Structure formats: structure tokens, C-alpha cells
Amino acid sequence: MKVTVIGGGVIGYTCAHELARAGHDVTVLAADPPDRTTSAVAAAVWFPYEAAPADAVLRWGARSLRAFTELAADPGTGVSLRSGLVLHRTASPDLWWTAAVASAETVLDGLPHGVPSATRCTLPVIDMGRYLPWLVAAAGVRTVVGEVRDLADVEGAVVVAAGLRSGGLLADEDVTPVRGQVVRLANPGLTDWLIDDDNPAGLTYVVPRDHDVVCGGTAERGAWSVDPSPGVETAILTRVRDLVPALRDAAVASRGVGLRPARSAVRLDRVERDGRPVVSCYGHGGAGVTLSWGCAAEVVALLGRDGGPV
């Protein structure tokens, strides 16, 4: 069956990959090339941030975790398995997400001031600069660059996976940007990542890759600017260097801003419109990479082999 996937980010191309593997004739309609999408800005450590509902997120995330763990065996994918810490600022942290993780241990010693505990685990870190080209090539589907403004202009079965643009295509007002700014530093030799999303000074994370370290961040709901703010960057650097002193002399390599497509809950469903199936897959907040393979598998199931759900 011919299927058009609207969206050229990690969700769109993962859906395209799995649909093609299921035997469909797939075309991706992309408003921007992959390296200009929000996906390209992501620090991309597996972590279910700013996505709901929890039960579905856990299911999709667990499947994606297995997929990324398998991909880490191939250096060409840009996926690696790295140990790191999730810092907890409360005495009783909510560790719901650890149900998907093979091994997670509590750490009580050697933590920054004001951090009573942390969870150490090994998770996939995805270098999006390498992973997105791999994913596009692995999907092996046609790509047409251009913005879709009306689903009536697209023939056949459709998968709407266009991030923030999805709301306009489906008249869904429950989609809003959550602005994320990062600064990438030269890597002084770090291997372990760190997440401190309850830092009182602001969301903070440090995600080392082979040649740089992605440092963040922000979670500015309703903000649309994609221009990096020097003041925000200074604040990010202050937070990450307080937590990771090895970064104090690390030079800035690059910077970026992405607009996370937030929604009260991820929309993943199927409707019939003008006699053809339309599957929605958007609203992943800060967890698009984390949920990508699990959501793509559900898209395939919703669409079925001949347009009827399996």
C-alpha cells in the first residue's frame, strides 16, 4: 500500500523505516531536511522527558530502548551505550521510568550539594548528527521536500508525524512548543552523562559524545524563537560547570535551539478521512527519540497491511 509520512524528523523517518520494512510503498514529505529539524538539536540520551501518558510512554520507551541497544552494536549508527546519573532533588523521587531499564542502582555518596540521591544506569546516547543520516539511508524511502498545508493535497494513506506542524494539519490546538536551547562544548574526555531536571536554577543535563558534550538546557513552554540567547547560554554554562568542573575550560563548539512538540498526551491514533486512513503520531515533547521505535511499531499496527488495522 502507498503511504505518505508527513514529517522529516526522527519520528517521521522511524515510522517510514518500519512501514517500508512491513512492505508498504512509502514516501516522506519533509518541510525541512533532517539536519534542520528539532531532532537534530536533541541531546538524545534515552529518557522519557515531557511526555504522557506514563503507561504508554513506558511501553513505547521500552521497545525503543531495546532497539537502540541493538543498534549500539553497529558504530555506523551513532548510537552508544553510556553510564550516567539521574540526580534527585527530593527524598522520594518518582522512578517510574526505571521499570524499562535493565539495571538501575541508587547512589547516595559523592553527589553535588543539595542532591540526596541519584540513579545510575547505562542508557543509549544517540549522536543525532550521525544517527539521522543513518536512519534516512536505512529507511530507503523516497523523500520529497516541501511543506504540506492541507491533508487534502496528499493522496492515499497518511501518517502525520510533523511535530509542531501536526497541530495545524489536524486542527489540534493541544500542541505547543517547549523551547530547548543547548550549547555544545569540546569534550575534555568525559564519558558519563548527567541529568538534573529538577535543578532549582533550571533544567540541566550534560551528555558527552565522541567529540563534544551537549549541555542544556531550557524548557520554555510557548516560546517560538529559534535564535540562541546569549544570556540563556551563560546560565546553562554556569549550571553545567558547577556540576561538572571538568567542563570549566572546555571551549564552545556550537550551539542550537529546538522547539519540542508538546501535548497533554502523545497522539497516536487512526481515523478515516475522505475514505482513507490517517494515522497521527505526534506530541512527543522532549522524548521523540526515546519513544521513536515503539511508536513506529504501533503506527504499523494501526495502519495494517492493506489499510485495515491488524
Closest CA to 77 of 86, 69, 65, 89: 69
Sequence-separated contacts (24+) of 239-244 with Cβ below 8 Å = 239/196, 239/199, 239/201, 239/202, 239/204, 240/204, 240/205, 240/206, 240/215, 242/112, 243/112, 243/194, 243/196, 243/204, 243/206, 244/190, 244/194, 244/206
SS3 category, 24: coil
Q: Is pLDDT above 80 for 305? A: no
Q: Is pLDDT above 80 for 307? A: no
The predicted pLDDT at position 264 comes to: 97
Helix axes 128-139, 10-21, angle to 10 degrees: 30
Bridge-based pairing of strands 175-186 and 220-221 is: antiparallel
- The overall average pLDDT reported for the chain is 95
Question: 56: part of which helix (H) or strand (E)?
Answer: helix 54-71
pTM here? 0.95
**Across residues 84-92, what is the average pLDDT?**
96
Q: What ranges make up the beta strands (E) of 127-217?
A: 142-145, 157-160, 175-186, 193-196, 204-208, 212-216
**What are the residues whose beta carbons fall under 8 Å from the beta carbon of 223, sequence distance 6 or more?**
177, 178, 179, 259
CA 106 to CA 86: how far, in whole Å?
Answer: 10
**Across residues 213-219, what is the average pLDDT?**
97
Residue type, 5: V
Contact 122, 82 (CB under 8 A): yes
The predicted pLDDT at position 155 comes to: 85
Q: Which three cell numbers stand for residue 48?
A: 522519557
Going by pLDDT thresholds of 50, 70 and 90, the confidence category of residue 201 is very high
CA 36 to CA 108: how far, in whole Å?
Answer: 40
Q: Is pLDDT above 70 for 129? A: yes
**Across residues 253-269, what is the average pLDDT?**
97
Q: Is pLDDT above 60 for 310? A: no
